[in-house]
Amino acid sequence: MRLTGAQALVRALEMEGVDVVFGLPGGAILPVYDPLLDSPIRHVLVRHEQGAGHMAEGYAQASGRPGVAIVTSGPAATNIVTAVADAAIDSVPMVVITGQVPTGAIGSDAFQEVDTTGITMSVTKHNWLVTDPADIPRVVAEAFHVATTGRPGPVLIDLPKDVSTGELEWYWPRRLDLPGYQPVTKGHPKMIEQAAALITAARRPVIYAGGGLVRAGAERELRALAERTGIPVVTTLLARGIIPDDHPLALGMPGMHGTYAAVMAMQRADLLITLGARFDDRVTGRVSAFAPEAKVIHVDVDPAELGKVRRADVPIVGDLRNVLPELLRRLPAEPADLGAWRATIAEWQQRYPLSYVPSEPGSATKPQFVVERLRALTPDDTILVAGVGQHQMWASQFWTFRAPRQWINSGGLGTMGFAVPAAVGAKAARPRQMVWAIDGDGSFQMTAQEIVTASAERIPIKVAILNNGYLGMVRQWQEMFYDERYSEVYLSPDLPDYVRWAEAMGAVGMRVDAPEEVDAAIEKANEVDDRPVVIDFRVDTFEKVYPMVPAGASNDDIVLPPHLVGDGR
């Protein structure tokens, strides 16, 4: 069967089970958009290519399947680079297809030409410049395989226009020939045995649960390990929900804005059982002072993570879903008595819980209160998406997570503007689940135009803007570390007018000025199911995110909220 390259591409996407793609057409990708009309694949037309990338990420994180974005060459390709980099650092499986100028024009500085594979080389797991139509089915099959196996990540296929208009005899590769790509999935038995011995001997162990557990779909295996051993679990920003927050062994998030109990448990631990986590600087604080007495078991599917930041006493390369049951099998039936350790941690939890001072009557709404009310008034399986900034930390802290893949945010790259498009992608993947985005006013303004996409495509996401009129996190740092010298952080709560902006974009717009209006607004939003909703929550400008380990400081120097200590320490 003779097909054009473009037809083969669409057919290959169908073979891979793709049901939704996010994109925006343009000159070099035009041939691909023609056969797309005849395909059952749904296309979501974005308003900016960065949005297509984040939507694909949101889709992937909510569904566990790779997200797909299709954009044209040149500026479209550069626009999507941010999302590709975001997916790379957070290990999100994503396949990006970019148009390219015809092969004969490559290198001539043609209209809308950039070196897309060159630009994205360091932020993709792999990329391909296709030069022969006959390569298309093979490259698509390889791309999906690479994106979804081993440590997942984004891949990119650059498709010159003459390659998508050229012809090929259709085929679908039965096996892939990637001699340099063989991810290790089974852990080394000797190493797993050593890990079991360390766990058995430990008296102050902590499970350091990272995003790799979510990517591996290993929530059941993790929970079995924790419950069998009685070892408490900290969940990183990307792993929130991998164990329910109301589980007795859950300590919440560690790191810069982690709970006191999670941070201190790691600092005082004699063993860190590190599962799909990477000792990010936002978790460790100053590395030389991090968990000084802890031995380290480190399990990761990416060998390069082992020993990258912290030396592992027992490094194990492998898929967590394979390694954890093997580890469990080697543990003694009777777990060690961790009573004293658990009592110490319980005391930390009790003495320094996550908390805030509720607002006085007549004064501004506390942002944390909005997060708590949202959790209370939405279904258990609500998917929560966040942008980047203070609101993201409050969302992670004050939402009660009950399952993985219900929390989607930009962890490693910290991409402001992530929330709205990622929420659209999540809702496209999970149309029956409620999807709420908690966003900041600064973050929202970066990609708000994708509300138009949500309206036009009937993807009814809900957005709660925690509007404090500032680039709040930067403001917090300037307050704490730059002598309250506020430089270029004021945005104004009224400019733009978020309600009118939301309405202009086809959404329902609401504004909440006082704490007692919060519940009614959320309930009203929950009832809207045919269009997006944006609520402008006016919140207290002076509220800061606590606890906080200042950048570069030791985790021992954690700063607690003033109301828990009295003197600001």
Residues of the shown chain interacting with other proteins in the complex, contacts defined by CB under 8 A: 117-118, 121-122, 125-126, 129, 146, 178-181, 302-304, 306-308
Question: Nearer Cβ to other proteins, position 125 or 430?
Answer: 125
49 catalytically annotated: yes
Q: Is 161 a known active-site residue?
A: yes
Catalytic annotation on 111?
yes
Signed CA dihedral, 40, 76, 408, 459: sign only = negative
- CB-based burial, 133-144: b 16+ in 10 Å, e otherwise: bbbbbbbbbbbb
Q: Shortest approach of other proteins to residue 156 CB, angstroms?
A: 12
- Exactly one of 473, 505, 510, 548 is catalytic; name it: 473
- Please list, in sequence order, all residues whose beta carbon lies within 8 angstroms of the beta carbon of residue 220, skipping any fewer than 6 positions away: none
Q: Which residues contact 255 (CB under 8 A, 6 or more apart)?
A: 236, 237, 262, 263, 280, 282, 283, 284, 285, 549
Active-site residue, 473 included: yes
- First-last CA distance in the chain: 72
Q: Which residues of 443-478 are buried (b: 16+ CB within 10 A; e: fewer)?
A: bbbbbbbbbbbbbebebbbbbbbbbbbbbbbbbbbb
Q: Which two tokens stand for residue 160?
A: 């010159």
Nearest approach in angstroms of CB 522 to other proteins is 44
Strand order from edge to edge, sheet including 435-440 = 407-408, 383-386, 435-440, 462-467, 533-538, 508-512
- Choose, from 112, 433, 445, 449, the residue flagged as catalytic: 112
Residues 93-122, buried b or exposed e (16+ Cβ, 10 A)? bbbbbbbbbbbebbeeebebbbebbebbee
Contacts of 51 (CB under 8 A, 6+ apart): 22, 420, 421, 424, 447, 449, 450, 453
Nearer of residues 122 and 350 to other proteins, judged by Cβ: 122
- The active-site residue out of 7, 22, 49, 543 is 49
Q: Which is nearer to other proteins, 77 or 448 (CB)?
A: 77
Residue 183 or 496 with smaller CB distance to other proteins: 183
Q: What are φ and ψ of residue 42, in 5° steps?
A: -80, 135
What is the torsion angle, in degrees rounded to the nearest 10, for the CA atoms of residue 479, residue 482, residue 488 and residue 490? 10
Q: Which CB atom, from 143 or from 428, has the smaller least distance to other proteins?
A: 143
Q: How far is the CB of 88 from other proteins (least distance, A)?
A: 11
3-state secondary structure (DSSP) of residue 506:
coil
Concerning whether 350 is annotated as a catalytic residue, the answer is no
Amino acid, res. 558: I
Closer residue to other proteins (CB): 39 or 185: 185
Of residues 126 and 257, the one with the C-beta less far from other proteins: 126
Catalytic residue numbers? Answer: 49, 111-112, 161, 473
